Amino acid sequence: MEAVRDTGVSRLVLSSSGALYGEQSQQPISEGQTPKPNSPYGVSKLAAEYYVSTLGTLYEIETVALRIFNGYGPGQELTPSYPPVIPQLLKQAQVGGSLVIFGDGTQTRDFVYVDDVVDALMAAATATDVNRAVINIGSGQEVTINDLAAKVAQATGKQASVLHNRGQTAGVSRLVADVSLAQDLLGWRPRTELDRGLRLTLERDPRFQQA
């Protein structure tokens, strides 16, 4: 924020996360619901929103925070610990391994393709009357992890067995975004269905082409 101030940038768009909502009884989740982060990652994103908004006011910089839900797409990093679920399942399926799911797989998530996320970031950078806005960016579609595994198997054409690791936490039970505010303020809506997004990820990511 100090660099933004010193270089005269007029607006900053923060990539925040739907992870800061934590466990919520009301679904889909709207921006007015109280965050209840249940991970250090979620806490860090909530803190970042406060820093950006507060410093934006002090430095007279416009700010917009996009709470991106489960983003995915080609090139997504596969970290050794707690890797993102989509590239991890794609990798397991393509090498003929079992698809390992934490918990019983009934937990739900909202997966939004990277192209749609980029469109949202561009819209937030150029829209009018969005200063200090906090906006959900997701697909608006709720998918269980069990259903995701079935879609991964279909996309890869592999007959993969599913193993449930019930010793690992599955995270929050439900998570799906209300994206109506993004439509109202940014004129944005998700365009990429999950089945198509999985196919695009396989086609565009060299790691999966090599496999």
196 closest CA partner among 108, 123, 115? 115
In whole angstroms, what is the distance from residue 2 CA to residue 73 CA? 31
18 closest CA partner among 42, 2, 44, 39? 42
41: annotated active-site residue: yes
CB within 8 A of 35, min separation 6: which ones? 20, 21, 22, 42, 46
141 closest CA partner among 197, 199, 203, 83? 197
Q: Are strands 99-102 and 162-165 parallel, antiparallel or unpaired?
A: parallel
- Cβ contact 12:65 at 8 Å: no
The active-site residue, picked from 21, 41, 59, 113, is: 41
As annotated, the active-site residues are: 41
